[in-house]
Structure 1
Amino acid sequence: MISRDAGNGPAVLMVLGSCISLQVGAASAAQLFPTMGSAGVTLLRLLVAAAVLLIATRPHLRRWTWRQWMAVVAFGLCLAGMNASFYAAIARIPLGAAVTIEFLGPLVLAAVLSRRMRDLGWVLLAAAGVVLLGLAAHAGAGSGLDRIGVAFALLAGVFWAGYILTSARVGAAVPGQGGLAVALAVGSLALVPVGAAGAAAAIGRPDLLLLGAVTGLLASVVPYTLELSALRRLTPSVFGVLLSLEPAIAALAGWLLLDQPLGAREAAAVALVVLASIGSTTFAQRPAGSDPPAPPTDVGQAPPAVEKQVPQLS
Structure 2
Amino acid sequence: MSTLGRGAPSAVALSVAALVTGMVSLQCGATFAKSLFPAVGAAGTSALRVGFSALILIAVWRPWRRSLPAREAGWIALYGAALGLMNLLFYLALARLPLGPAVAIEFAGPLAVALIASRRRSDFLWIGLAILGLLLLLPIATTDGLDLVGVALDLGAALAWALYILFGQRAGRVDGGQAVSLGMFTAALVVAPFGVAEAGASLLAPGILLSGLAVAIMSSALPYSLEMTALRRLDRKSFGVLMSLEPAVAACAGLVLLGERISAVQWLAIGLVIAASVGITVGSRRSAPQAAILET
TM-score of the superposed pair, with normalisation by structure 1: 0.87
Which consecutive unaligned segments of at least 5 residues does structure 1 have? 287-302
- 1:274 pairs with 2:274: yes
Following TM superposition, by how much is the alpha carbon of 1:206 offset from its aligned partner in structure 2, in angstroms?
2.4
Give me the identity figure in percent.
Answer: 40
| One-letter identity of the residue aligned with 1:5 | G
Mean Cα deviation higher: 224-233 or 60-69 = 60-69
Give the corresponding residue for 1:165. 166
Following TM superposition, by how much is the alpha carbon of 1:104 offset from its aligned partner in structure 2, in angstroms?
1.2
Q: Partners of 1:220 and 1:51 in 2: how far apart? A: 12
Give the corresponding residue for 2:108. 104
Give the corresponding residue for 2:157. 156
Q: Partners of 2:169 and 2:162 in 1: how far apart? A: 11
**Deviations along 1:182-241, whole A, 9 cap, x unmatched?**
111111111222112345444453222121111011111111101111111110000000
**Deviations along 1:61-88, whole A, 9 cap, x unmatched?**
6611112211211110010111111101
| One-letter identity of the residue aligned with 1:43 | A
1:76–1:187 Cα contact (<8 Å) kept:
yes
**Deviations along 1:122-162, whole A, 9 cap, x unmatched?**
1220111122233699334xxx2111100011111111111
**Aligned pair in 2 of structure 1 residues 307, 255: CA closer, same or farther (>3 Å)?**
farther
- 1:29 pairs with 2:47: no
Give the corresponding residue for 1:5. 7
**Deviations along 1:228-266, whole A, 9 cap, x unmatched?**
111111100000001000000011111111111133222
Following TM superposition, by how much is the alpha carbon of 1:10 offset from its aligned partner in structure 2, in angstroms?
0.6
Aligned Cα RMSD in Å?
A: 1.9
Give the corresponding residue for 1:292. none
1:32–1:41 Cα contact (<8 Å) kept:
yes
TM-score of the superposed pair, with normalisation by structure 2: 0.92
1:202–1:208 Cα contact (<8 Å) kept:
yes
Aligned positions of 1:177-192 closer than 5 A = 177-192=177-192
**Deviations along 1:29-69, whole A, 9 cap, x unmatched?**
11111121111111110111110111111113661111221
Give the corresponding residue for 2:293. 309
Provide the secondary structure at the position in 2 that maps to 1:92. Answer: coil
- 1:81 pairs with 2:82: no
1:22–1:219 Cα contact (<8 Å) kept:
yes
Task: Name the one with the larger helix percent.
Answer: 2
